[in-house]
């Protein structure tokens, strides 16, 4: 039977900051060749019909980098959505009408789970006039459970799975508005979406085991 002390131990584990050196010695986190679909006008309706089947989706975005200090942010160029089985990469410059995707983003029935999403609502409103609903930032969840430092993707994967997530600065600064994404970009973008949806389900399993001790505002986010 889970106890309050068990839950306190779990909370305390989230406060630990695993060093970069320790993460480097961890085995690699892998997606085990889960399929990744590049979405354009040709297949957007089929992609959205598949996405409607899910209650939880990993969420992230990429934009063309701004190299000038104080320069204006470029619009969102790529939207990543992932189930635990598959990832869809929506290439904005290849999609003429985002209405069907907006239905997913605005749905209150589908949780969109990400990490470090403080500016995403504003950016979607500015770039696409879309208000995202049921958007869950796992960084906020970890802070609500007592973590003081920001939880990045590499730290989260190390914390929850004891694995090293490969994060390439070269890819993060690459041209996400390119007509053709290279394999390294596709891997980078899909990893970000897969890792947050995997983390959400792992957190759900752990927190529901201690639901008597979990704050209500957190418990309702993870209810089945």
| pLDDT for residue 155 | 97
pTM score:
0.94
| pLDDT for residue 1 | 79
| pLDDT for residue 5 | 94
Contacts of residues 17-21 at CB distance under 8 Å and 24 or more positions apart, as own/partner, are: 17/149, 17/155, 18/155, 18/158, 18/159
Token pair belonging to 11: 């909370």
CA nearest to 16, candidates 142, 117, 198: 142
- Give me the residue spans of the domains in the chain: 4-222
Confirm if 106 and 133 have CB atoms less than 8 A apart. yes
Distance CA 67, CA 63 (A): 12
Tens digit of pLDDT per residue, the chain (224 long)? 789 999 999 999 999 999 999 999 999 999 888 999 999 999 999 999 999 999 999 999 999 877 666 667 789 999 999 999 999 999 999 999 999 999 999 999 999 999 999 888 899 999 999 999 999 999 999 999 999 999 999 999 999 999 999 999 899 889 999 999 999 999 999 999 999 999 999 999 999 999 889 989 999 899 87
Please name the helix (run of DSSP H) or strand (run of DSSP E) that holds residue 153, with its range, or none. helix 153-161
CA nearest to 220, candidates 141, 119, 132: 141
Q: Which fold has domain 4-222?
A: Nucleotidyltransferase; domain 5 (3.30.420)
């Amino acid at each position: 039977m889970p106890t309050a002390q068990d839950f306190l131990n779990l909370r305390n584990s989230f406060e630990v900051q695993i060093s970069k050196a320790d993460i480097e010695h961890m085995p690699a986190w892998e997606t085990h060749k889960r399929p990744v679909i590049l979405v354009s006008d040709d297949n957007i309706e089929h992609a959205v019909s598949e996405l409607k089947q899910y209650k939880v989706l990993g969420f992230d975005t990429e934009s063309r980098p701004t190299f000038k200090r104080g320069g204006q942010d470029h619009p969102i160029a790529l939207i990543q959505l992932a189930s635990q089985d598959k990832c869809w990469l929506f290439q904005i410059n290849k999609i003429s009408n985002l209405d069907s995707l907006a239905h997913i983003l605005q749905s209150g029935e589908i949780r969109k789970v990400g990490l470090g999403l403080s500016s995403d609502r504003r950016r979607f409103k500015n770039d696409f006039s879309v208000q995202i609903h049921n958007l869950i930032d796992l960084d906020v969840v970890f802070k609500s459970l007592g973590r003081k430092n920001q939880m990045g993707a590499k730290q989260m994967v190390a914390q929850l799975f004891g694995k090293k997530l490969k994060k390439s600065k070269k890819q993060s600064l690459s041209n996400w508005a390119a007509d053709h994404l290279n394999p390294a970009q596709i891997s980078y973008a899909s990893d970000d979406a897969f890792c947050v949806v995997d983390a959400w389900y792992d957190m759900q399993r752990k927190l529901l085991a201690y639901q008597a001790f979990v704050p209500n505002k957190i418990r309702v986010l993870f209810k089945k």
